[in-house]
């Protein structure tokens, strides 16, 4: 039976739950549906025993030495910049450090891993293995650092891009750190033609919106993980990449006809700023919007 004094951190009900075990509030945080992300800077501290209701993936970015206990097993003086640890939901955890520390973590509701189950070849046990802060995983490091960047400086179509990062992270955790290693099924034919046409029409009609992967998947009755893989199988590009391409194509039409100025066209096509249009337009066409409009 769980001791009454052990805090249980439930970010779905209390996004500020980390304040229960840390002396200072996060530098920045964001809570999505079934997901939570924080960037932390803390003084020397001992968290005491606690549990999380989400799976937690943490990266220590300051290289501060920490002592850590997970379900009764302990390791001391774990140190290394960008070292990562994985804490399964419900595991009893304690951590302490003797100097200032910087870290970031993402929390993932176990329900998210169940959603992925419909596309797994073997799905009997969807459970993560705990790992102490000794991991050097470049993919996890890259995803967490990019999530931090998107949180501090949101870019074009942030929601769809972040959804893509989250999908990649879940699949990687299942492949590399699951109790039972899984294989993600492959699909030679992609989306059925009528569903592909349906979602392409929907994207075309909502290019000026900040589209989300879950929103697109719901239009054709699929999970976002299943949809993302089938979409890429159909068109050889991700939903995020396709949306950017279509926004640039719409901008070409508006600029060629002289109907709108560059800044106005950027907003109408769903770009956050003119600079976002400039960057993606030149990347895909080889020309700046200004030069293209002068042709």
Same domain, 260 and 159: no
Domain of residue 266, residue span: 242-293
Same domain, 125 and 248: no
Residue 227 has pLDDT above 90, yes or no: no
Grade residue 293 by pLDDT with cuts at 50, 70 and 90. confident
Q: Under a CB-based contact definition with an 8 Å cutoff, are residues 60 and 99 in contact?
A: no
Same domain, 32 and 130: yes
Residue 187 has pLDDT above 70, yes or no: no
Same domain, 254 and 143: no
Residue 69 has pLDDT above 50, yes or no: yes
User: Is position 182 within any domain?
Assistant: no
CA dist 241 to 142, 222, 273, 284, Å?
19, 20, 18, 11
Q: Under a CB-based contact definition with an 8 Å cutoff, are residues 21 and 15 in contact?
A: no
User: Is position 187 within any domain?
Assistant: no
- Give the C-alpha separation, 295 to 97, whole Å: 61
Report the CATH number at residue 266. 1.10.10.60
Report pLDDT for 120: 55
Report pLDDT for 161: 82
- Give the C-alpha separation, 80 to 59, whole Å: 10
Same domain, 67 and 209: no
User: Is position 125 within any domain?
Assistant: yes
Report the SS3 class of residue 245.
Answer: helix
Mean pLDDT of the chain: 87
Report pLDDT for 248: 93
Closest CA to 195 of 179, 217, 162: 217
Residue 103 has pLDDT above 80, yes or no: yes
Report pLDDT for 245: 93
The pLDDT > 70 percentage for the chain reads 90
Q: What proportions of the chain, in percent to the nearest 5, are helix, strand and coil?
A: 40, 20, 35
| Buried/exposed code over 117-139 (b: 16+ C-beta within 10 A; e: otherwise) | bebbeeeeebebebbbbebebee
Report the CATH number at residue 158. 2.60.120.10
Tell me if the pTM is above 0.85: no
Q: Domain count for the chain, please give it.
A: 3
Closest CA to 97 of 77, 81, 75: 77
Q: What are phi and psi of 132, to 5 degrees?
A: -75, 170
Angle, to 10 degrees, between the axis of helix 239-256 and the axis of helix 193-205?
Answer: 50
pLDDT tens digits along 40-49: 999 999 999 9
Q: Under a CB-based contact definition with an 8 Å cutoff, are residues 112 and 35 in contact?
A: yes
* Highest-confidence segment of 78-82, 97-101, 120-124, 241-245: 97-101
| Buried/exposed code over 208-226 (b: 16+ C-beta within 10 A; e: otherwise) | eeebbbbbbbeebebbbbb
pLDDT tens digits along 2-51: 445 799 999 999 999 999 999 999 999 999 888 999 999 999 999 999 99
Same domain, 227 and 104: no
Grade residue 1 by pLDDT with cuts at 50, 70 and 90. very low
pLDDT tens digits along 151-163: 776 655 567 888 8
Same domain, 252 and 144: no
Residue 258 has pLDDT above 90, yes or no: no
Q: Under a CB-based contact definition with an 8 Å cutoff, are residues 38 and 59 in contact?
A: no
Residue owning tokens 């089938």: 230
Output the six-digit token pair for 36.
Answer: 């939570």
Instruction: Give the 3-state DSSP-derived string for 167-198, with helices as H, strands as E and coil as C.
Output: HHHHHHHHHHHECCCCCECCCCCCCCHHHHHH
Report pLDDT for 203: 93
Alpha-helical runs (H) found in 60-212: 110-116, 138-152, 158-177, 193-205
Report pLDDT for 116: 66
In sequence order, what are the residues at sequence separation of 6 or more whose Cβ sits closer than 8 angstroms to the Cβ of residue 114? 126
Q: Which of 121-125, 145-149, 267-271 has the lowest mean pLDDT?
A: 121-125
Report pLDDT for 164: 83
Same domain, 249 and 168: no
User: Is position 183 within any domain?
Assistant: no
Grade residue 188 by pLDDT with cuts at 50, 70 and 90. low
Same domain, 128 and 249: no
pLDDT tens digits along 113-130: 876 655 554 555 578 999
């Amino acid at each position: 039976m769980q001791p009454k004094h052990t805090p249980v951190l439930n970010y779905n009900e209390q996004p500020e739950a980390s304040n229960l075990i840390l002396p200072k509030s996060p530098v920045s945080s964001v809570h999505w549906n079934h997901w939570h992300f924080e960037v932390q800077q803390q003084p020397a501290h001992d968290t005491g025993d606690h549990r999380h209701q989400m799976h937690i993936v943490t990266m220590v970015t300051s290289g501060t030495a920490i002592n850590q206990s997970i379900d009764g097993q302990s390791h001391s003086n774990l140190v290394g910049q960008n070292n990562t640890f994985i804490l399964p939901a419900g595991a009893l955890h304690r951590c302490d450090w003797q100097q200032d520390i910087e870290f970031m973590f993402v929390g993932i509701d176990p329900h998210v891993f169940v959603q992925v189950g419909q596309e797994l070849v073997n799905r009997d046990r969807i459970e993560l293995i705990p790992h102490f802060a000794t991991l050097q995983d470049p993919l996890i490091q890259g995803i967490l650092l990019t999530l931090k960047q998107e949180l501090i400086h949101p870019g074009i179509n942030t929601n769809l891009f972040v959804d893509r990062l989250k999908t990649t992270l879940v699949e990687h955790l299942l492949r590399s750190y699951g109790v039972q290693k899984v294989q993600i099924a492959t699909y030679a034919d992609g989306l059925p033609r009528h569903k592909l046409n349906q979602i392409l029409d929907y994207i075309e009609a909502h290019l000026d919106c900040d589209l989300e992967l879950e929103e697109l998947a719901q239009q054709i009755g699929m999970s976002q993980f299943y949809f993302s893989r089938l979409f890429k199988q159909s068109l050889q590009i991700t939903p995020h990449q396709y949306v950017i391409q279509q926004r640039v194509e719409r901008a070409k039409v508006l600029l060629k006809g002289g109907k709108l100025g560059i800044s106005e066209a950027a907003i109408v096509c769903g770009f956050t700023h003119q600079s976002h249009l400039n960057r993606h337009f030149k990347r895909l066409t080889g020309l700046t919007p200004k030069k293209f409009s002068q042709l």
